[in-house]
Each structure stands twice: as C-alpha cells, then as structure tokens.
C-alpha cells in the first residue's frame, strides 16, 4: 500500500500552470512529477477558479494601523525604557555603595565618584 503524499502549494501551482499552458499532456506531466492525472486536473481547476479572486481583492491588502494604538504603545515603550534605566542605575549604585562591584566591574559601568574598571 502506498503512502499519501502531501504536496506543498508551490508544487501544485507549478504543475497546474504547466497544465494550463498546454505544452504537454496531463499524462506526460503526471509521469514527470509522479502524481495521478486526476490530481493535476483538480489542481488546474482550482487554479482557474481561484485566479479571479486575485483581481477581485486587489492583491494583498495592507494591514490596517490604528493610530491611537500605535501612539499608546509608543508611550508605554517610553515609560518602560525610563523605568528600566532607573532600576539599572539604582541597582548599580546600591551594589557599588555596598562594596559589591562585581556587576559594575564586569560590565564597566560608570558609578558616581568615578568609573569602576576590572
């Protein structure tokens, strides 16, 4: 018993286009690509029926952008960036003040009173 093969959309389109061209018979295409002629007929029919959809929809639509959502996300990104910087400075300052400068030394972070370098 043979296994069913799943062909990707590109393969189906390529075979269907060759069938639409009509330069070779469906039997010749079936022998070359190793698929049953009935499948080629189905793919050709699907291609011809679906081709008009490309022109009806006007191709790919651009994603709609909600300006209000974009604006609120930019505000949130800015707030989080400021918070991150404050937490980072606070962490480095506390560690440097306590004499535990491993983090600052490792990343060559400037702390108040001079730069700590390894």
In a shared domain, residues 51 and 87: no
Q: How confident is the model at residue 4 (pLDDT cuts 50, 70, 90)?
A: confident
pTM: 0.47
Assigned domain for 3 exists: no
Say if residue 50 is in the same domain as residue 13. Answer: yes
Answer yes or no: is 29 within a domain.
yes
Nearest to 96 by CA among 84, 83, 106: 106
Query: Which pLDDT tens digit goes with each residue over 82-106?
Result: 999 888 888 777 766 655 556 556 6
Average pLDDT (19-27) is 94
Asked if residue 4 is part of any domain, the answer here is no
CA distance 74 to 85: 17
> Is residue 95 included in any domain, yes or no?
yes
Domain co-membership, 51 together with 89: no
Confidence band of 65 (pLDDT split at 50, 70, 90): confident
Give the residue-averaged pLDDT of 26-52. 93
98: tokens are: 């306590």
Percent pLDDT > 90 in the chain is 47
- Residue 98's domain comprises 81-118
Please report whether residue 30 resides in a domain. Answer: yes
How high is the pLDDT of residue 51? 84
Residue 113 lies in a domain: yes
* Residue that wins the pLDDT comparison between 52 and 114: 52
Task: Determine the Cα–Cα distance for residues 40 and 38; give it in Å rounded to an integer.
Answer: 5
DSSP secondary structure letter of residue 110: E
Task: Work out the average pLDDT over 30-43.
Answer: 94
Please check whether residue 89 lies inside any domain of the structure.
Answer: yes
Residue count of the chain? 118
Look at residue 74 and tell me if it is in a domain: no
User: What's the rounded Cα separation, in Å, for the pair 103 and 71?
Assistant: 36
Domains held by the chain: number: 2
Residue with tokens 């010749």: 28
Boundary residue ending a domain (55, 72, 89) = 55
pLDDT of residue 118: 43
* Domain boundary residue, one of 19, 39, 55: 55
Q: Are 12 and 43 contacting, i.e. CB atoms less than 8 angstroms apart? A: yes
- In this structure, what token pair is assigned to residue 56? 């009806």
């Amino acid at each position: 018993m043979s296994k069913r093969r799943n062909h990707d959309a590109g393969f189906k389109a390529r075979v269907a286009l060759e069938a639409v061209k009509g330069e070779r018979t469906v039997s010749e295409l079936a022998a070359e690509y190793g698929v049953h002629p009935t499948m080629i007929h189905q793919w050709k029919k699907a291609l011809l029926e679906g081709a008009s959809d490309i022109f009806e929809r006007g191709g790919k639509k651009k994603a709609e952008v909600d300006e209000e959502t974009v604006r609120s996300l930019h505000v949130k990104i800015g707030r989080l960036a400021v918070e991150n910087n404050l937490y980072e400075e606070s962490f480095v300052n506390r560690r440097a003040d306590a004499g535990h400068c491993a983090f600052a030394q490792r990343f060559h972070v400037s702390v108040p009173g001079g730069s700590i370098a390894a």
